[in-house]
Structure 1
């Protein structure tokens, strides 16, 4: 049985045209990625001295009606709206609303992408992100800020999910391992540059404007970004698929003679295998294999997000210079990105993900035995555990894309992303339990359980992306796929 990707044979695995689209998507995703890590500057634990009578200028004294804030690091939303003492939970509420927005956005944009196309979903998500990040900078009331954070979250959920899928579907099978690492470039770039931008601006409103307004050009992506040819074929839009594939092939200096035959065979197979022309979330639970895969991947995503964002917030609380700590933690993700590519090329998907989870769990357990006075070692262990969680998360994205067929791929990613948001929503509460060994144990046990669940997912290394639910259900070995049945 051959396992060639017929789309790759006609347009190339990742030619000049795909590089151009990848560049546009990478730049367009930056506003969303900035919102993922800027919580340490927007709503931090505000430092202040209390000027109330009897407080004697005590630092962080509660209750306090006349605080004088330390804004040497950043003028934040916490200081603007006095999110201290009994109002401190409002800062957590604002961040939680971002995650609620991501959850809603993942579901909404996942449906839009599967029903109306990858292109529309991408443009809507990217433009929504720019608009509401910019509007949040002009919020005059806290409730306005919270609403903007929710709407920013919806755009983030859509941008992260749909941008990933469209790049995967425009690429050939043999190049997907490289994309596992390359698609993390926007996050790492935002993570590294955010503290630098914040250092010079010193004001959260200016930070929001600087991370949104310069990216208003994404509205023009509507005339630049293509639809996914795999989605067009699955939807039965053969003529559009042929024209797009010919255009891409010419841009990549590939022959166009065989494109009609490839599209016809792919279309015929997709029509034989399914009765409907678009998928839905219900399809994730109609059939045995898809149902099992959906439930397991959803929980694995929950564990990834729960551990990664919990550790990320912990870094913001460590002793030392916050700018340096963030840059160091971001810089370590560069070799992590290289490892992700190496693992995707040479290791089995499940083995690589399990190894990343195991590294995270091990370093978390070491927190229980390392003396609290060893600040440098604590920082190193935190960064290593974050690296493990990051590499697991990056690989799970590709793993999930390969498990599910085209007709429900975005819906499956949307469901998984929803559970990821639940994990990130719960993470701050686990961090704030106040008993460190309990917090560490919860994170570690959750990660180890994700390791165990991965054994029940199919190995997908070197597969051709399947189109229909029927193909997934009847293939016991998803890597053994005939090239005439899949694209």
Structure 2
């Protein structure tokens, strides 16, 4: 490895030189002749910034608390309420997944108030699986539509901060309006709208938070975001338990108000990404933000390197076409190959990650306890990535965790009679999927340069959400056979995870700003490997 390092550096320099020579004479050049990097220029100012300077990035990740609540709220609001036979001496005849469908209405009654669930309020106990899964599927379908409509706005016109502000505000308003739904079609339509605006929340916050901090904090700030999502997931069963017996509408109001108030914090206390501002030609704004992040006064004479990097990129990267990032991703063979592979992996991960919590109603255990255990399972997953991400190879680790999730999903479907063994297998499968989810997002951030990163992450999350959109249908079908839910989950994530072998390893790499830099880096790496042989 020590012998290969000088070779890699020299080949990278040669590649950088060739990139410079391919530009016009008007393009500013670094004194050593290599095209300057925005990431390196910014790193020279914020690399030694203290921990207090990562607080805006941490604050940005808190939005994932509300994102998780929005995503999994249907587990409780659309659950089958417990019921009992009026003439039964034992009082309670069935609960959870059992249904009174087919019994005369005069012989049974709901154990909780009729408005405690959408199923009891709108008499859906005999509805088909497609109808029962409609609200959840509508939400994920909205996420898909919003991803395609809004994905490139954060890379083009709006930027990371404005996109995050707009998405969070719209998501919270949609949740409040959902509480006023008079019927199932209106309810499903409003869930679609909530998903539509929620679609860019996760992408915007992950990209913004990682671009606000130095390289040494980049991996860890991503894990902070995953932990915030876990916190939101964990808080949901507690909120649902407190509001049990009340209308399901109360739970929607409980999650919408804090989310609305959080938008005020976004507006006043979170900065825009200086990397995005530089690529958009807004140099003065970017420099002011970097000065605040660095925590010290930077003289104008000391920012020549940053200006040089900005000038070198502005001519090629500045564009008013909101689809320019998408064109770059689909028009470059290497980018298209990476995007296709990582989206395939993400589809399988998303099916298990979103499907497992929705499928908990099909198990014999208590719903509140099961959801809480699944949420708690995300904590060790986040901690493992937080402390070991610097040592974990992205490619092989992703392959291992997707395989483990698939295996234990199949084990869960094979165990008959429920009980602790089945619950343990479900928790292991969900834990592996959570860890794979975190790795895939970090992997994706490192695979694509700044100019297309937000769009690439958006497409990756689209694949995750697509898996989530398919999951409710399988969950509804799984009430009759666990193989149609847990079994399919296991087969899909196991097969999709194999595509991780098609991706290059990115552990320990810095991030690039442009497509040309990424191409030059790949060429340098290939040259080093060939020479090493």
Gaps of 5+ in 1: 52-56, 481-487
Question: Could you say what secondary structure the match of 1:108 adopts?
Answer: helix
Q: Is structure 2 residue 278 aligned with structure 1 residue 239? A: no
1:254-403 equivalence runs, <5 A: 260-271=303-314, 274=317, 276=319, 279-367=324-412, 369-370=414-415, 372-373=416-417, 375-403=419-447
CA distance in 2, matches of 1:105, 1:243: 32
Q: 1:184 and 2:226 equivalent? A: yes
Query: Residue deviations 1:360-405, cap 9 Å, x none?
Result: 12212323554x2351011111001000000101111111111111
8 Å Cα contact 1:97/1:149 also seen in 2: yes
Distance change >3 Å, CA 259–CA 184, structure 1 → 2: farther
CA RMSD of aligned residues (A): 2.9
> Which of 63, 85, 89 is the equivalent residue of 2:130?
89
Q: Deviations over 1:266-287 (max 9, x none)?
A: 2244247657466332221101
2:510 maps to: 464
8 Å contact kept, 2:61–2:224: no
Which residue in 2 is equivalent to 1:445? 491
Say which one has the larger Rg. 2
What residue in structure 2 maps to residue 455 of structure 1? 501
Cα offset for 1:257?
Answer: 6.3
The separation in 1 between residues aligned to 2:115 and 2:412, in whole angstroms, is 30
User: 2:505 aligns to what SS in structure 1?
Assistant: coil
Q: 2 CA distance for matches of 1:304 and 1:134?
A: 30
- Which whole-Å CA distance do the structure 1 matches of 2:451 and 2:506 have between them? 18
Match of 2:252 among 177, 201, 208: 208
Q: Contact 1:122/1:158 (CA < 8 Å) preserved in 2?
A: yes
**2 CA distance for matches of 1:133 and 1:110?**
21
Contact 1:284 1:291 (8 Å CA) reproduced: yes
1:79 aligns with 2:79: no
Counterpart of 1:38 in structure 2 is 73
How many corresponding residue pairs?
474
Q: Aligned equivalents of 1:134 and 1:374: distance in 2? A: 37
Matches of 1:24 and 1:74, distance apart in 2: 36
Alignment pair present for 1:61 and 2:100 = yes
Which residue, out of 199, 223, 238, partners 1:157?
A: 199
1:91-115 deviation per Cα after TM superposition (whole angstroms, max 9, x unaligned):
3111111001111222333211011
**Structure 2 CA distance for partners of 1:404 and 1:259, relative to 1, 3 Å:** farther
| Aligned 8 A contact 1:246 1:259 in 2 | no
Match of 2:212 in 1: 170
Q: Normalization by structure 1: what TM-score?
A: 0.89
Contact map agreement 1:306 1:443 (CA 8 A) in 2 = yes
Q: C-alpha displacement at 1:172, in angstroms?
A: 1.7
CA contact (8 A) 1:10 1:256 kept: no
* Match in the other structure for 1:413: 457
